[in-house]
Amino acid sequence: MKITSKTKEERNEIAGIVLLTLSLLILLSLVSYQIGHYVMGALGRYLAFSLITAFGWGAYFLPFSIGYWGWKTFQKGKKIKGMWVKVSGLGFLVLAFCSFLNLLGRQTRLGGTVGDFVSDSLLVPAFGDTGTYLIILTVFIISIQLVTETSIIQFLQALKKAVQVVRPTTPIRKRLTTMEEVKPDSYRKVSPQEKVESVSPVSPLGALTFELPPIDLLNDPPRTDLSEREEELKNNAEVLEKTLKNFGISAKVSQIHPGPVITRYELELAPGIKVSSVKNLSNDLALTLRTQSIRILAPVPGKAAIGIEIPNQSMALVYIKELLQSPEFKKAASLLSLALGKTVAGKTYIADLNQMPHLLIAGATGSGKTVSINTIILSILYKATSEEVKFLLIDPKMVELPIYNGIPHLKSPVVTNVKHAVAALKWIVGEMENRYRSFAATGTRDIFEYNQKFKEEGEKIPFIVIIIDELADLMATAPNQVEQVIIRLAQMSRAVGIHLVLATQRPSVNVITGIIKANLPARLAFEVISKVDSRTILDMNGAENLLGRGDMLFLAPGEAKPIRLQGAFVSAEEINRIVNFIKQQGEMTYTEDLFQLTKITGEKEEEDQEIRKLFKQALRLTLERRQASSSLFKGALHISDGKATNLISLMETKGLIGPQQGSKPRQIFLDKIEDYWRKIEKDEDN
């Protein structure tokens, strides 16, 4: 017969009632024995006499503990887990309490026979009174944890959080005002753009309970058997030695480092062999090994050997779950730890965006650039809450990053309009300047000192990570503005916790200018078409020999040579699961002034487009009619008096028509109008 869950709940409720009744019987027996009125009969009197003689006043722990368990069982309808652990905890609790009572009143034997034996016969002779009190306190705390399953540390932490929530915090603006008195003559009129670029309000950290996404949301990697590759590795080593010998180079494979996609073979050259002689044989070695391309690392950093990296016959994917559950990622203390991928030797590689402090990513289409951006975002989402790190995501392609819309980590919805992107970057510059003013007023040097100083007040400010998926689209529209903003942020934003991640699939000098590259020392290069593109990204060759599909070279700041990594694979389903999990914990709160700025910029852009369209129609009408007047434009273009007057004023300002001369018609400069018309047509074609 199958026992249903409902039947089990009923049985557990009955057990809870039995325990409650038993505790009440024992309690009444003890109380009636103390007052000399035996209401529980002979059995109750004998039970009370035995308990009080043995445990003294500690006997009262027994009915209260049994009653506590009975109430929990009845309330939840579940069987008590770890029953024997709780019984043991109750036993030690009674012993500790009885021993404590005996120390308080040895002559009256408040702790009963058991307390007298444990304290006076065992503990006091060995540890003295002070040591006995300390041991009793320790046993008492541990026993309470075993009986009630209540952690003392968790209780104290919860109490501390409750006190922090109740205690009011001092606003940052109030501190700034008290530190520096504002004089009346220091007031000045603020332009609309300066109003928009004011500092964003900072919400206290820890006000909301945020749970980081569990690792179970990610796909499990398939199991791989490396033993099957032993024959392949051995054959490749023999072919390498034999091929080099045919060219008169004596070398021996000293170490083999198998990785998920490529394997590095380290060769020790015989005395007198030049390194350049091996580097010149890359194409011959690739032909002999029947592979697409090989990469020669000469020499291997820190070793007297040459590294030859050969693609594996069967390439294995690196799953992001492998990286995020690795010990290296778990031990990383930084909130901006990035699980970039695995090394040639198959080890997880973790980079810190704080140390970079900005990152440039470039590679050809389909090389794995966008997947690496998703890996970077997920790495931070698995480390930081929405109150610790904020994102500003810019995706002019409108394809990849909008999937993150709605998570509370975003400063604003994913920016897909180029004009909005420029405005948002300018707002970030204003935010950076306001943070510097706050640091100066509070006597702190960087975001770490500031957050540590005002940790108790709950006024921590979050890191801001700006990710631009296609820098080329921004540079094509407003190159000067974008370059100036990026340079200013790259030079000054590290101390205030603002970091840039720039990505492009067009690694040309028009997109990655020299001054931008100089301020972004951390580079991540994927497969590119030519050596020129590789030098544009890394200032050296190498990226043209990569295999694609996440194969990349990472140049860390201060390092002379890049390290080869295999990026992790992230599916759209995994991203959706993580985004949905985070969305359930809270709604996205926009930064109001940034949101208004992008909105105003969009409206202004639409208005400018309408004016350009009307102005072009007015020029064509003037050429056809050989005259220009507000009444003509109003009737022919079906616009209001105000717009018609504005068109006349604009044409006069540009010198296309003459000024008003009483009742006479305006002078029309047809040659200038035709030249201006051709200029407009040329601009539209470009």
Residue whose token pair is 């033993």: 227
Tokens of 577: 């699961």
Do 424 and 546 fall into the same domain? yes
Three-point CA angle 12, 18, 24, nearest 5°:
140
Rounded CA separation 103/110 (Å)? 9
* Same structural domain, 399 and 484: yes
Give the pLDDT score at 195.
37
How many residues appear in the chain?
Answer: 686
Contact, 466 vs 499, CB < 8 A? yes
Of residues 192 and 305, the one with the higher pLDDT is: 305
Quick one: 465 and 525 in the same domain? Answer: yes
509-518, 532-541, 579-588: segment of lowest average pLDDT: 579-588
542/618 same-domain check: no
Instruction: List the structure tokens of 178.
Output: 């008290």
Neighbours of 662 (CB within 10 A): 4
Question: How far is the C-alpha of 9 from the C-alpha of 7, rounded, in Å?
Answer: 5
Mean of pLDDT over the chain? 79
Of 246, 280, 311, which residue is a domain's last? Answer: 311
Q: What are phi and psi of 524, to 5 degrees?
A: -130, 110
Is 463:388 a contact under the CB 8 Å cutoff? yes
DSSP state string for 526-571: ---SSHHHHHHHHSSS-GGG--STTEEEEE-TT-SS-EEEEEPB--
Beta strands in 346-446 (DSSP E): 348-352, 359-362, 389-394
**What pLDDT score does 593 carry?**
57
- 170 or 537: which leads in pLDDT: 537
Asked if 395 contacts 405 with a C-beta cutoff of 8 angstroms, the reply is: no
Q: In what order do the strands lie in the sheet with 306-311?
A: 251-258, 262-269, 306-311, 295-297
Domain range holding 20?
5-155
Predicted pLDDT at 197 = 39
pTM of structure: 0.58
Residue 390 domain-assigned (yes or no): yes
Whether residue 298 sits in one domain with residue 359: no
The CA distance from 656 to 582, in Å, is 58
How far, in Å, CA of 621 to CA of 639, rounded?
A: 14
Domain co-membership, 548 together with 644: no
Calculate ∠ Cα 388-391-397, nearest 5°. Answer: 165
Q: Which residues of 161-299 form beta strands (DSSP E)?
A: 251-258, 262-269, 295-297
- How far is residue 372's CA from residue 368's CA, in Å, rounded to a whole number? 6
Q: DSSP characters for 285-329?
A: HHHHHT-S--EEESS-TTSSSEEEEEE-SS--PPBHHHHHTSHHH
The answer to whether position 538 is within a domain reads yes
pLDDT of residue 608 exceeding 90 = no
Amino acid making up residue 665:
P
The radius of gyration of the chain's CA atoms, rounded to the nearest angstrom, is: 38
Per-residue pLDDT, averaged over 488-511, amounts to 91
- Helices 641-653 and 592-625 cross at an angle (nearest 10°) of 80
Which of these, 376, 384, 374, 426, lies nearest to 404 by C-alpha position? 374
If one compares 348 and 81, the residue with the highest pLDDT of the two is 348
At 534-555, the pLDDT tens digits run: 999 998 988 888 888 899 999 9
Distance separating alpha carbons of residues 99 and 127, to the nearest angstrom: 14
Higher-confidence residue of 674 and 324: namely: 324
**What is the CATH classification number for the domain harbouring 430?**
3.40.50.300
Amino acid at 277: S
Q: Is residue 427 exposed (0-12), middle (13-18) or buried (19+ Cβ within 10 Å)?
A: buried
> Is residue 530 domain-resident?
yes
Q: Which of 139, 155, 171 represents a domain boundary (last residue)?
A: 155
CB 568 within 8 A of CB 319: yes
Same domain, 456 and 552: yes
Q: Is residue 359 part of a domain?
A: yes
User: Looking at the structure, do residues 445 and 520 belong to the same domain, yes or no?
Assistant: yes
**How far, in Å, CA of 291 to CA of 309, rounded?**
11
**Residue-level pLDDT at 580:** 92
- Angstrom distance (rounded) from CA 197 to CA 525: 34
Residue 557 reports pLDDT greater than 50? yes
For the chain, give the longest Cα–Cα distance: 129
**pLDDT tens sequence across 345-397:** 888 999 999 999 999 999 998 888 999 999 999 999 999 998 899 999 999 88
CATH number at residue 288: 3.30.980.40
Report yes or no on 482 lying in a domain: yes
Distance CA 278, CA 250 (A): 10
User: Do both 612 and 482 map to the same domain?
Assistant: no
Q: How many helices (H) and strands (E) does the chain have?
A: 26, 13
Per the domain annotation, does 457 fall within a domain?
A: yes
In the DSSP assignment, the letter for residue 661 is B
CB 516 within 8 Å of CB 500: no
- Count CB atoms within 10 A of the CB of residue 177: 12
Distance of CA 125 to the CA centre of its chain: 58
Q: Are 545 and 444 found together in one domain?
A: yes
Q: pLDDT at position 314, please?
A: 78
Checking if the pLDDT of 223 tops 80, the result is no
- What are 523's strand-pairing partners? 360, 555
- Cβ 497 vs Cβ 462: under 8 Å: yes
Question: Residue 84's pLDDT is what?
Answer: 67
**Burial of residue 561 (number of CB atoms within 10 Å: 0-12, 13-18, 19+):** middle
- Tell me: the pLDDT tens digits for 204-216? 444 446 789 999 9
Picking from 19-33, 192-206, 649-663, which range would have the lowest pLDDT averaged per residue?
Answer: 192-206
188 located within any domain: no
638 and 497 within one domain: no
Choose one of 127, 155, 183: the last residue of a domain.
Answer: 155
Instruction: Provide the sign of the torsion angle of the four alpha carbons 516, 517, 520, 525, taken in this order.
Output: positive
pLDDT, tens digit, 9 for 90 and up, residues 277-301? 888 888 888 888 888 778 888 788 7
- Residue 202 in domain: no
More confident residue, 34 or 441: 441
How many independent structural domains does the chain possess? 4
CB 318 within 8 A of CB 570: no
Mean pLDDT for 121-149 is 80
Contacts of 59 (CB under 8 A, 6+ apart): 30, 48, 51, 52, 94, 112
CATH code of the domain containing 655 = 1.10.10.10
Is the bond preceding 125 in cis, omega lying within 30 degrees of 0? no
Same domain, 508 and 642: no
Backbone angles phi, psi at 466, to 5 degrees: -100, 120
Q: Can you tell me the distance from the alpha carbon of 354 to that of 332, in angstroms, rounded to the nearest whole number?
A: 12
